[in-house]
Structure 1
Amino acid sequence: MTINDNKITDLDHGWDYMQKGIIKLKKILEGLPEPQFSSEDYMMLYTTIYNMCTQKPPHDYSQQLYEKYREAFEEYITVTVLPSLRDKHDEFMLRELVKRWANHKVMVKWLSRFFYYLDRYFIARRSLPALNEVGLACFRELVYQEVHGRVKDAVISLIDQEREGEQIDRALLKNVLDIFVEIGMGKMDYYADDFEADMLNDTAAYYSRKASNWVLKDSCPDYMLKAEECLKRERDRVSHYLHISSEPKLVEKVQTELLVVYANQLLEKEQSGCHALLRDEKVDDLSRIYRLYHKIPRGLEPVSSIFKQRVSDEGLALVNQAIDAANNQAENVRSVHEQVLVRKIIELHDKYMVYVCNCFMNQSLFHKALKEAFEIFCNKTVAGCSSAELLAAFCDNILKKGGSEKLSDEAIEDTLEKVVKLLAYIGDKDLFAEFYRKKLARRLLFDRSANDEHERSILTKLKQQCGGQFTSKMEGMVTDLALARENQGHFEEYLSNNPIANPGIDLTVTVLTTGYWPSYKSSDLNLPAEMVRCVEVFKEYYHSKAQQRKLSWIYSLGNCNISGRFDSKTIELIVSTYQASVLLLFNNSDRLSFSEIMDQSNLGHDDLVRVLLSLSCAKYKILNKEPNTKTISPTDYFEFNSKFTDRMRRIKIPLPPVEERKKIVEDIDKDRRYAIDASIVRIMKSRKILSHQQLVTECVEQLSRLFKPDFKAIKKRIEDLISRDYLERDKENPNLYRYVA
């Protein structure tokens, strides 16, 4: 055919020519022997359409050609494509569909190029669907709508065969599922509605059947291995042939059927569940459980609950062992068991912190479970001792000279770090602070601290954990002692420059700041003349340096080295100031009664009883007592025991220990009352009006970092503050409080 620009091309004549090109294209698509389109062929076909669309009305055939474009596809599909699909089934049908879809896209591409002039002008002006869209829509309406149900069933059947271990053609499935995506022309509706929904339902049913069987015959670890492998394979399916948008939905279905439905049954299996895995330290299996459940909403809650139960059970078992041991042991052995308990609790914390960090990837839920578990048993009392006291005693044992814990510097630092972590679980942190401060004072004052660096190190750790207020007094004590040593150096320099003032006795005075240190009993002890001279000399020196400061002498903390001249030899006695004062009385008297010693020393009854017990009834009998009994009474008489001897030339005579626990607890109770009062007033001053419940809640929140206040105690303090006109009740609502400015 030749094109004459001056001649009108009628519709039938022009379409006959186009039909020849379409028939040639069909033969090429069907694989029949047919040469490819040449450039000349293409130009002739394009020009035919161009001429038929640019002729003046009524010879502009744009609308008719647009309709015939669609008819060409419909005729090809009806005559050739659908029959070829209808006589095939299963995998053969899928292969035919893939082939037909590929051919159809080629046909759309070529015909759209022939009819391109329609796209540029006619379709653009009329806002009609583009040629490409019309061509694909024909396949969707005539082919896809007829076969997609059979195709979906065939694909799902192949997926299930693969799940059972059979080899399938993944590339085929990929090509078939691409049709579901492409047929939507930019939308996923056809893929989602016509394939994905049923595929997900089939997946759920498949794994539900598997899970119901596995859960009965498999151990928890074996089941988890299978579940992990199944999830891996489903993700693998997505990467090979399913659309990427299916992955979260597919994984969710598998997780639900394999992990959620049977969670409690699996995790609580008697011989292989979480309890058993924790007991047998199956780290890999626990890590796998975490990996499988951590992406499931609230999936880890049962695991963390079991973890918490396991930790608290082990901790309570340790506490109960210590309680049993304490009930069956003497006092001195009991303290050893208490030290062992703290060490075992530290080891328990180390053990389960490894699980939290390594198996459970530092997940906050497990940190919370560990904290709550330790809070359960770390706040138990053992033989009347609170955990706060046990922890303070443990620190004392590590930090003092000659403690039972023989550790390297690095080990001490590590242990102190762990002790401070344990403190976070203890409710009565203020009680720990007071016990620790008492023991710190004894270490510092009696030179029992093994290492100043360790003392400062733990205070830094406590400060970071509990705040500056918690450690301010303790830090003051350490600084105070350093200043006291410096002051002692100045005093010795003063004595060397003033020989007349020198009392002739070596004197060491530790000057302390009252506010930092625990309160100590002060007494008007009648010092021996030798000691009086020492005190006067120091007073004279100190007032020359600090006139505005007042010195209060705490003789109960002092100690002396005195020479005891016995018949066999002279022995140096290391005694307290109280003991020295009593012993020196016997330089002037051979025999003294209890009351005479009391009058001459001016010691209180209880203090004197302790002193005389240590000198006449304990290991070293420096004094003989009449009658020779193990108790001290006001009718007793005492004489210097000149026959006393010992293999050592220097001995220390300890005083019987004083029970301080009761006083510390009483002091803390008093401090807590003040703290509750201050908190209530602080809250009410800022809020002005508050309900009872809100006030109690805020008060507990403010104070809980130091101690957990009792609700009854808070209520009692509120009543006290009302009686003292700090607060008043609302006249109409008695549960409402007002701040009285």
Structure 2
Amino acid sequence: MSKVLGKQPETVNLAKSRPAFQPNHGAKKLIIKNLRTNSRPNELDAYYKKTQSDLVDALEAIFERKQPRQPLERLYRGVEDICRHGASSELYALLRQRCEAYLNGRLHQSIMAEAGSTNVDMLRSTHKHWVIWIAQSTTIRSVFSYLDRSYLLNNKDLQQINDMAITLFRRMAFVTSQSTASNPGSRSLVGMCDLVEYDRRADTRFDAALLRDSISMLHVLNIYGKSFEPRFLKASATYFQEFAEEQSSGSLKSYISACERLLNREDHRCNAYNFDSTTKRQLMTEAHFTLIDSYSEKLLDGGSISKILDENAVDSMKALYDLLRLSGLQRRLKEPWEEYIKQAGSEIVNDTTRGDEMVVRLLEFRRALDIMVRDAFKKDDEFTYGLRQAFDSFINDKKVLASWKTGTSKVGEMIAKYIDMLLRGGLKTIPKSLLSDLKDRVDAEQSGQASTGDEDAELDRQLDQALELFRFIEGKDVFEAFYKQDLARRLLMGRSASQDAERSMLAKLKSECGSNFTHNLEQMFKDQNLAREEMASYKAWRDGNGHEKGSLDLSVTILSAAAWPTYPDTQLILPDEVASQLERFDAYYVNKHTGRRLTWKHSLAHCVVKAHFNKGPKELLVSAYQAVVLTLFNQIDSKPDDFLAYQQIAEYSGLNGPDLDRTLQSLACGKVRVLTKHPKGRDVKPTDTFTVNKAFVDPKYRVKINQIQLKETKEENQETHKRVAQDRQFETQAAIVRIMKSRKTMTHANLVAEVINQTKKRGAVDTAEIKKNIEKLIEKDYLEREGGSYTYLA
């Protein structure tokens, strides 16, 4: 139905005779009188002008930040009427012209009036008026919503109201041809860079909210990438260069820390203040290049890295690794890493003044490096491999042989002695620095192993750590020789803290080196079991043949000469009762085992001697040497003022030289002094005399006296190294003969290479030594030289 405009009300007359609807009579006519079919043109024009005027007034009110006089709903209807009238284009032009005039006029003037003197003040003013304009444009868009939806939505040539508002503000503030001083956009961009600079330098003028909102404003205005990003990245590059130059004058540790803080702050700023992801990527790339690539020589300086590693600064090394990884340079850290390990490790193994601490120091060093790989290098396999390569290098360095003048591996000897200490003393002998930490326990549980909180599991782990060092040794024959000696002492003297640990260690060595390596060691355990069976058989024979037990309870251990270490034979004058017991056992054994012969090793024997002092009786746990010397004083027991001279003791005991000196020193000069030396002093001399210390007291009933003669002497140590070196010569010659027997003819270079390959598991042989052994075999007519080759002589 058409809308009718007019000044007079219309009258509608309806017929009153019958109802309008009558069946079977058809439809009736509806007559409307005085209906105007055409409105007067001047009335419509006046309405449209009035509506347009109201809209202009509303725009002015909005620009003044006031409420329009007309209700927004009536204004919206007015826009709809004009659009339906076909004047959408003219209405849009009017709206755009009014907005553009307002922005370039009053709003621009207001921005400049409130700008202040600094670029940050200009940014604050620009953003403030941007917020105002967004609010104004929102109201305008609600009023002209019908124009937006009915006309602009389908017109590709014209912007919608929201886009128009953004475009007009952008042109006014950021794309103007005005000078820089009166250009709010240009100064605002500089102000944003200034805010970032304030943040970087911890300036109190920094306004976080303004920076965040300004970045959002640029994103909406669509000028972030074109106008701000290049300017920001250029300013950042300059700052990074100045920062690097300033910080690089300090230590590496401080430079790493400063770079780490800077990169974290830059990353946080980009995330917190709405920077674009491409900006962040370009910014961090520039930072990495400036701070890391350009200063890689400083970051990879061996001396500086060594200081950090010496301080065990895991956090600093982790930060360095992370920095280098950002530029893909972390692999270059491996070279100074290995060099440091070689240098520090060489200092430990070549330190002749602290030889007894060598293995503990190596294990502490290794543990610190393992923690560094675990926590700083994120378990990077490259650094784990580099660590092993470096250990292998310095442990087998020939400089170690020169420092210790042993000719064979000193490290192998010290590892064997360290394991001996663990197996004798258990966990109480382990330094706290080597004990497992929480992470070790978690790793053990995750790998399905026993918790390192358990003592047996912890001891087993410590043995594994020592075995890790053992794997690096090329001269394993040295380790074998000293381990064999120490194992013999533990078994013979009952000094093992745990038989389970002993057998576990033997199983580890067998798994590591093969059954040939542990054959003799396993035989030593078998001999112990056989000895117990032999003694049970002897006691049964003795009791069955009517022999009296006597006051002496004899226990003998039969050792296989091939499996056990060699011990010197010593002449010892035993008490008659002891001598008769030994003769009886000797007769029994020789009769039982035809063709065998016993050699008594009195240096390994020990016994319990009962002694009477003024304060009461004691039981003294002593060696055979000490027992023989003590029983000599029974001969002068009835003469309190008498003494035994050094020469008398030597004559009656059969001991002499170092054995006698050490025995007397242990009885008269040690912690437990059951004899008194005259004159007093720490060293024993041939002119000294000795008496029983009747005033001896001790809180314990059974007192153990240190058996000095069982300790390894310097001469014995050197002799062991010489014996290993001599055995190595024989093994080398045997390898040469084996190789030549199978090959018949070989060049010198190939023969040397093959000999090294076959003997490296036992011990590293120098090429000069191999050449000497080849010459010896030529002299013995095993080989013949023909030019540059050797021929095997059958």
Q: Same fold (TM over 0.5)?
A: yes
Deviation for aligned residue 1:661: 0.5
Partner of residue 207, structure 1: 240
Deviation for aligned residue 1:423: 1.0
Pair 1:102 & 2:102 matched: no
CA distance in 2, matches of 1:94, 1:206: 21
Counterpart amino acid of residue 413 in structure 2: L
Pair 1:176 & 2:176 matched: no
Specify whether residues 339 and 122 from structure 1 end up closer, same or farther in structure 2 by C-alpha distance, changes over 3 A only: same
Task: For residues 630-677 of structure 1, give each alpha carbon's deviation from its aligned partner in whole angstroms, at most 9, with x where no partner exists.
Answer: xxxxxxxxxxxxxxxx98999999999665313653687699999999
Which residue of the other structure, out of 398, 408, 416, is the alignment partner of 2:428? 408
Partner of residue 328, structure 1: none
Which residue of the other structure, out of 299, 303, 316, is the alignment partner of 2:346? 316
Counterpart amino acid of residue 342 in structure 2: S
Partner of residue 665, structure 1: 728
Pair 1:459 & 2:505 matched: yes
CA distance in 2, matches of 1:648, 1:484: 42
Contact map agreement 1:309 1:373 (CA 8 A) in 2? yes
Q: How does 1:322-471 map to 2 (within 5 A)?
A: 322=352, 338-349=355-366, 367=384, 370-379=387-396, 380-381=400-401, 382-383=404-405, 384-387=407-410, 389-395=412-418, 398=421, 408-409=428-429, 411=431, 416-417=462-463, 420=466, 423=469, 426-428=472-474, 430-431=476-477, 434-435=480-481, 438-439=484-485, 441-443=487-489, 446-447=492-493, 449-453=495-499, 455-456=501-502, 459=505, 462=508, 466=512
Task: For residues 383-423 of structure 1, give each alpha carbon's deviation from its aligned partner in whole angstroms, at most 9, with x where no partner exists.
Answer: 2121553234423652587xxx9983555995944851651
Pair 1:44 & 2:77 matched: yes
Pair 1:80 & 2:105 matched: no
Contact map agreement 2:100 2:168 (CA 8 A) in 1? no
Specify whether residues 149 and 347 from structure 1 end up closer, same or farther in structure 2 by C-alpha distance, changes over 3 A only: same
Give the unaligned 5+ runs of structure 1: 53-58, 185-189, 326-336, 522-527, 541-550, 564-571, 576-613, 622-645, 678-695, 714-741
CA distance in 1, matches of 2:161, 2:731: 86
Deviation for aligned residue 1:146: 0.9
Deviation for aligned residue 1:459: 1.4
CA distance in 2, matches of 1:664, 1:96: 93
Contact map agreement 1:207 1:254 (CA 8 A) in 2? yes
Contact map agreement 1:267 1:274 (CA 8 A) in 2? yes
Partner of residue 26, structure 1: 59
Which residue of the other structure, out of 229, 254, 257, is the alignment partner of 1:196? 229
Deviation for aligned residue 1:237: 3.7
CA distance in 1, matches of 2:586, 2:302: 78
CA distance in 2, matches of 1:15, 1:556: 135
CA distance in 1, matches of 2:156, 2:767: 77
Partner of residue 167, structure 2: 138
CA RMSD of aligned residues (A): 6.3
Specify whether residues 158 and 29 from structure 1 end up closer, same or farther in structure 2 by C-alpha distance, changes over 3 A only: farther
Specify whether residues 474 and 75 from structure 1 end up closer, same or farther in structure 2 by C-alpha distance, changes over 3 A only: farther
Deviation for aligned residue 1:203: 0.8
Contact map agreement 1:112 1:131 (CA 8 A) in 2? no
CA distance in 1, matches of 2:56, 2:759: 91
Contact map agreement 2:141 2:161 (CA 8 A) in 1? yes
Task: For residues 137-169 of structure 1, give each alpha carbon's deviation from its aligned partner in whole angstroms, at most 9, with x where no partner exists.
Answer: 634874576166554334224433554536143
Contact map agreement 1:396 1:439 (CA 8 A) in 2? no
Deviation for aligned residue 1:106: 3.8
> 3-state DSSP class of the match of 1:206?
helix
Contact map agreement 2:488 2:524 (CA 8 A) in 1? no
CA distance in 2, matches of 1:672, 1:120: 99
Partner of residue 547, structure 1: none
Deviation for aligned residue 1:195: 1.9
Contact map agreement 1:45 1:114 (CA 8 A) in 2? no
> 3-state DSSP class of the match of 2:472?
coil
Task: For residues 490-522 of structure 1, give each alpha carbon's deviation from its aligned partner in whole angstroms, at most 9, with x where no partner exists.
Answer: 5357547854899999674658899xx68999x
Deviation for aligned residue 1:223: 4.7
Give the unaligned 5+ runs of structure 2: 6-36, 177-184, 436-458, 568-581, 608-621, 626-652, 661-688, 693-704, 741-752, 770-794
CA distance in 1, matches of 2:517, 2:155: 85
Partner of residue 243, structure 1: 275
Specify whether residues 200 and 497 from structure 1 end up closer, same or farther in structure 2 by C-alpha distance, changes over 3 A only: farther
Which residue of the other structure, out of 581, 588, 611, is the alignment partner of 1:534? 588
CA distance in 2, matches of 1:233, 1:214: 16
Give the TM-score taking structure 2 as reference length: 0.54
Counterpart amino acid of residue 200 in structure 1: L
Contact map agreement 2:195 2:206 (CA 8 A) in 1? yes
Contact map agreement 2:373 2:383 (CA 8 A) in 1? yes
Highest Rg: 1 or 2?
Answer: 2
Task: For residues 38-61 of structure 1, give each alpha carbon's deviation from its aligned partner in whole angstroms, at most 9, with x where no partner exists.
Answer: 463366257547x82xxxxxx7x5
Specify whether residues 152 and 126 from structure 1 end up closer, same or farther in structure 2 by C-alpha distance, changes over 3 A only: closer
Counterpart amino acid of residue 275 in structure 2: H
Q: How many residues align?
A: 570
Contact map agreement 2:237 2:287 (CA 8 A) in 1? yes
Partner of residue 626, structure 1: none
Deviation for aligned residue 1:179: 1.9
Contact map agreement 1:387 1:426 (CA 8 A) in 2? no
CA distance in 2, matches of 1:239, 1:121: 40
> 3-state DSSP class of the match of 2:175?
helix
- Percent of aligned pairs with the same amino acid: 14
Deviation for aligned residue 1:357: 6.5
Contact map agreement 1:356 1:367 (CA 8 A) in 2? yes
CA distance in 2, matches of 1:667, 1:530: 41
Partner of residue 264, structure 1: 297
Partner of residue 234, structure 1: 266
CA distance in 2, matches of 1:38, 1:711: 107
CA distance in 2, matches of 1:17, 1:671: 122
CA distance in 1, matches of 2:737, 2:125: 88
CA distance in 2, matches of 1:461, 1:107: 87
Partner of residue 587, structure 1: none
Give the TM-score taking structure 1 as reference length: 0.57
Contact map agreement 2:586 2:598 (CA 8 A) in 1? no
Q: How does 1:477-626 map to 2 (within 5 A)?
A: 480=526, 483-484=529-530, 487-488=533-534, 491=537, 495=541, 499=545, 508=556, 533-535=587-589, 538=592
> 3-state DSSP class of the match of 1:34?
coil
Specify whether residues 37 and 476 from structure 1 end up closer, same or farther in structure 2 by C-alpha distance, changes over 3 A only: farther
CA distance in 1, matches of 2:218, 2:518: 73
CA distance in 2, matches of 1:436, 1:321: 20
Task: For residues 158-217 of structure 1, give each alpha carbon's deviation from its aligned partner in whole angstroms, at most 9, with x where no partner exists.
Answer: 433554536143333322211222344xxxxx534432233122111122134334534x
Contact map agreement 1:74 1:138 (CA 8 A) in 2? no
Pair 1:152 & 2:160 matched: no
CA distance in 1, matches of 2:538, 2:64: 117
